Structure 1
Amino acid sequence: MMKKILAADHPGADLVFSKEFAFCLPESMWEGMISGKFADFYHTFLIREPERVLYSNYKAPKSQPGVEPPGGGLYELYEFYQFVKERKGVTPIVVDAADLQAHPDETMKSYCEAIGITFDPNMTSWEKDFTSPFTYPSKWGERWFADLKQSTGFIKIKPDERKPVPLHELPNDLVQCIKECRVQYSEMQKDCIKPSPLSKTA
């Protein structure tokens, strides 16, 4: 279904964008996602420090236990990133969430330049109380969507303003997972795009 929607003609649309968790993309689909109608698609990756991903997941309401894999999808993200990099022979576009938070406009501008579209400041700011056709039945989803409806854009958070993750609150197996994923995160971070300076008219 997803492949049909992405590969279909979309009259009036200049761009088709889809976001998905890597662990939701079975390995059996990987080859098909980079060949045929998808050969010219860009596969871009959003990464975040493993300790923040897994701590957030650990503290989130467990209304749907077992939905996410033990590593929060970080292993799968790295594996698909490596697959795309090796099979397509190009370095995938990688964005670090820390850069997006610290420099939202500049990072989004770099992202747009990397995929060949024009940056628009409305990509990082919007009107409050927007509507959406989607509903989120889980407690986590309800809270997330309520916060999103009240937002007006990216909240800037500088690196030195972020609180350290209290790893002592996590079970040992999760701490070990963070250490393993940290190596993969560092590898992907080497390919991160850097924030671009904004022009005076941007």
Structure 2
Amino acid sequence: MRLAMWSGPRNLSTAMMYAFANRDDFAAVDEPFYAAYLAATGLEHPMRAEILAAQPQDPEDVVAQLTGPIPDGKPHFYQKHMAQHMLPGVPTDWMEDVVNVFLIRHPARVIASYGEKRENPTLDDIGFWQQAELHAKFGGVVIDSHDIRENPEGMLRALCDEIGLEFDPAMVSWPAGGRACDGVWAPHWYGAVWQSTGFAGKEGPLPEVPEHLRGVMTAALSYYERLKTEAISAR
């Protein structure tokens, strides 16, 4: 199985990668289109030079890696993707041959968390419309990070059922520290998950979004709510 997990930033995506990477039967890759995205957009992200040096900048080369032999001879391949990395012109035909899962989170929480690391995110930065567009074209399973934090084992069991994979208890906890699959950008972004040994607890009330970002939140909310209607529930 090649499992493509489509997320936006600050959305439990690294913890989900750790959950699958902690299984003996999965290889994992972290945001393989990131360098290609930065090269195409010219955006100044933290650790830009290191990212460009660490990954292929041609999307066709990335696709060749994703569809080629699975690393380490594993039977399954977990691919952590950011939906906003799929710019116009980036090949998507390979998505027909993978299991697509869409990891969503309420945009108020995404904006509040992202703003702590990078100021003033735009709608294009946070991936909601791109998730909705990819889901409309290719379909796939939708799962809400809020529900995972409420009931990690129940939701991971439900996800495994949906995609025809046997649940592995190793998915609900992992050793503290970084993982071999981490992207080169991990020191900037992954501090909290490096300290974790499992999924964070239940989320509190929605955070207040700054006034200058409320337009972004409102626009993202329409895409989130559309995908939320498709989200699976714990069994």
Q: TM-score, normalised by structure 2?
A: 0.65
- 1:47–1:97 CA contact under 8 A, matched in 2: yes
Between the aligned residues of both structures, percent identity stands at: 22
CA change 1:131–1:176 in 2 (3 A) is: closer
Measured on the aligned residues, the alpha-carbon RMSD in Å equals 2.5
Alignment of 1:47-66 (within 5 A): 47-61=104-118
State the Cα deviation string for residues 74-128 of structure 1 (Å, max 9, x = none): 222222222223xxxxxx2001010011111111111111111111121120122
Dislocated runs of 4+, deviation >6 Å: none
Give SS of 1:129's match: coil
**Partner AA of 2:170 in structure 1:** N
- 2:67–2:94 CA contact under 8 A, matched in 1: no
Q: Could you say which residue in structure 2 is the equivalent of 1:129?
A: 177
Unmatched segments (≥5 aa) in structure 1:
86-91, 197-202
Q: Could you say which residue in structure 1 is the equivalent of 2:218?
A: 179
Q: Could you say which residue in structure 2 is the equivalent of 1:191?
A: 230
Q: Name which of 16, 21, 31 aligns with 2:77.
A: 16
- 2:82–2:127 CA contact under 8 A, matched in 1: yes
Alignment of 1:72-111 (within 5 A): 72-85=126-139, 92-111=140-159
Q: As a proportion of its length, which structure holds more strand? A: 2
**Partner AA of 1:79 in structure 2:** E
Shift of 1:188: 0.4
CA change 1:71–1:150 in 2 (3 A) is: closer
**Partner AA of 2:214 in structure 1:** V
- 1:136–1:145 CA contact under 8 A, matched in 2: no
Q: TM-score, normalised by structure 1?
A: 0.75
Q: Take 1:142 and 1:9, find their aligned partners in 2: how far apart are those partners?
A: 28
- 2:108–2:208 CA contact under 8 A, matched in 1: no
Count matched residues: 174
Q: Take 2:179 and 2:100, find their aligned partners in 1: how far apart are those partners?
A: 28
**Partner AA of 1:96 in structure 2:** D
